[in-house]
Amino acid sequence: MNDRKPIRRVLLSVTDKSGVVELARVLQQHGAELVSTGGTARTLREAGLPVKDISDLTGFPEMLDGRVKTLHPKVHGGILHIRANAEHQKAVAAHDIEPIDMVVVNLYAFEATLRKPGVRFGEVIENIDIGGPSMVRSAAKNFEDVAVVTSVADYPALIEDLRANEGNLSRATRWQLARKAFALTAAYDLAIANALEGISELPEEDAALQLPAAAETPFPATLRLAYPQAMPLRYGENPHQRAALYADGSGTGIAGLRQLQGKELSFNNLVDLDACWDLALEFSDPAVVIIKHTNPCGAATASTVVEAYRKALASDPVSAFGAVIGVNREIDAEAATEIAKLFVEAIVAPSFSAEAKEIFAARKNLRLVEARAADMSRVLKQISGGLLLQDADHGHVEAGQLKIVSQRQPTQDEIDALLFAWRVCKHVKSNAIVYARNGQTLGVGAGQMSRVDAAKFGAMKAILPLVGCVAASDAFFPFPDGLETVVAAGATAVIQPGGSVRDAEVIAAADRLDAAMVFTGTRHFRH
């Protein structure tokens, strides 16, 4: 059975004119009549192609500043009638409707308009496409007879197909194009609905649109998501689980990374890369984070990347084997030489010097990825039967915001170490205790069922001496025993949120032990 159908008449109406001339020329060379609108028709004529105006097809002029041009029975009848249906054929013949075999359409750039500085509310509304999505959906619905092309990226393959098959397209090709078309209109409507929901107060038509920052927008009444698949993954957390990566299209964050070398990224690689990238970006000084199973086994800051790496590795060199590393600066040759001595799964950084790339090239399986910071304002988590949405944890505390609750005042060195430990603790699974000194983690107690166990485990993991260190707790100490444990391990100062009904008992324990203690007033649970 030959399911290929010829393309005899094409309607072209595109906002993005890229590549449309070449596509139209190939269609015309294979006998297709070109019908077009406004600017698209002008572009094709300037390229020397014969074009029929849409008004010549409909017998009706474009009107209302172009709002009405393709919304006409001779357009939608030409697209939607079923060629094998005798009644449909009688109807189009009676009304002198000519068949349209292909629709080439891309939509008004609504999201680009929305992002324009100082854009007027009326301009945003005007850039909601009506005729385009209508034609796209009509053509996609009638894919058995009509091809619909909505993406410039599809033009090259389509041109090859047309040339190889003398201007005919297969049913399978038409089906694939239709699926993409329905996905496009769904995402387009989603973008409009999400944008308009964020405009809580109705502006005047000529008013400059002031969209609130994402973190300031209310939680939507309906959560609408559209994330195109960025790449399939070999498997999920375990080999029996299927998986894929979906990205928001911004090209930022770990979902928008650029892989420079190495094996295919796995589900677990991506999760760990996200954890270490997130923590590395907490710091303004050069920082290196070594992650194992989403928890930092080593984190450090220093004046150079190589020094920060040496400090991070010294925190727990055993756990660092097979880990993932995140760096908040370009990795240079000196740092690359040191890091290359350790077996790691992947490294993420903003960039790598040419010399660093050459050094890492000898480790062919090592995954090198570059990433850009993402503007992440909300965090999504799936639970059975639904989703949880919350603001991202961007909570920070500076030295002047600390509440010193102990009799002994912390020294400046202790305050610096406490602030460092607090930033790391935010990225450790609860219950969490972090021991640190001089911009370097010493021991990390992660994911324990009790806080005192986290304190004991963090001390047990420490390889470097803990005497004279500081400790951070992601939530308050419910009893003095947690504080007593970190002080017994060697901590001289402690940072914690405070807020327990037994705060007075914990403060008294700190004074009895001559430990400095500060409250942040903010906790950092991480489940």
Q: What is the CATH number of the domain that holds 348?
A: 3.40.140.20
**Residue 406 has what pLDDT?**
97
pLDDT tens figures, 8-35: 989 998 888 889 999 999 899 888 889 8
Which residues, 6 or more positions from 13, have their beta carbon under 8 angstroms from its beta carbon? Answer: 36, 37, 38, 40, 54, 69, 70, 104, 105, 131, 132, 135
Residues facing residue 244 across a β-bridge: 232
- 405 shares a domain with 365: no
- 28 shares a domain with 171: yes
pLDDT tens figures, 419-460: 999 999 999 999 999 999 999 999 999 999 999 999 999 999
- 265 shares a domain with 150: no
Residues facing residue 261 across a β-bridge: 368
250 domain-assigned: no
231 domain-assigned: no
**Residue 1 has what pLDDT?**
44
- 20 shares a domain with 110: yes
- 261 shares a domain with 158: no
- 278 shares a domain with 168: no
454 domain-assigned: yes
Look up tokens 């698949």; give the residue. Answer: 229
Backbone angles phi, psi at 406, to 5 degrees: -95, 165
Which positions are annotated as active-site residues? 141, 293
**Residue 220 has what pLDDT?**
79
Rg of the chain in Å (alpha carbons): 31
265 domain-assigned: yes
**Residue 224 has what pLDDT?**
76
Angle, CA 366 vertex, CA 364 and CA 368 arms, to 5°:
110
Number of domains composing the chain:
3
Instruction: Select from 328, 353, 370 the last residue of a domain.
Output: 370
445 domain-assigned: yes
Q: At what angle do helices 480-489 and 451-461 cross, to 10 degrees?
A: 10
Q: Are 65 and 39 in contact (CB under 8 A)?
A: no
**Among 159, 139, 137, 161, residue whose Cα is nearest residue 148:** 139
Where in the sequence is the domain holding 181, given as residue range(s)? 5-197
- 415 shares a domain with 306: no
CA 360 to chain centre: 27
32 domain-assigned: yes
Instruction: Select from 178, 197, 216 the last residue of a domain.
Output: 197
- 189 shares a domain with 57: yes
Q: What value does the mean pLDDT of the chain take? A: 90
**Residue 212 has what pLDDT?**
64
- 265 shares a domain with 176: no
> Which pTM does this prediction carry?
0.79
Q: Which residues of 444-477 are buried (b: 16+ CB within 10 A; e: fewer)?
A: bbbbbeebbbbbbbbbebbebebeebbbbbbbbb
**CATH classification of the domain holding 138:** 3.40.50.1380
Please identify every stretch of the chain with a pLDDT value under 70, giving residue numbers as ranges. Answer: 1-2, 59-63, 65-69, 71, 211-216
**Residue 215 has what pLDDT?**
60
- 129 shares a domain with 27: yes
CA 244 to chain centre: 14
37 domain-assigned: yes
245 domain-assigned: no
- 417 shares a domain with 364: no
**Residue 114 has what pLDDT?**
76
**Residue 317 has what pLDDT?**
95
Cis-peptide, bond into residue 365, ω within 30° of zero: no
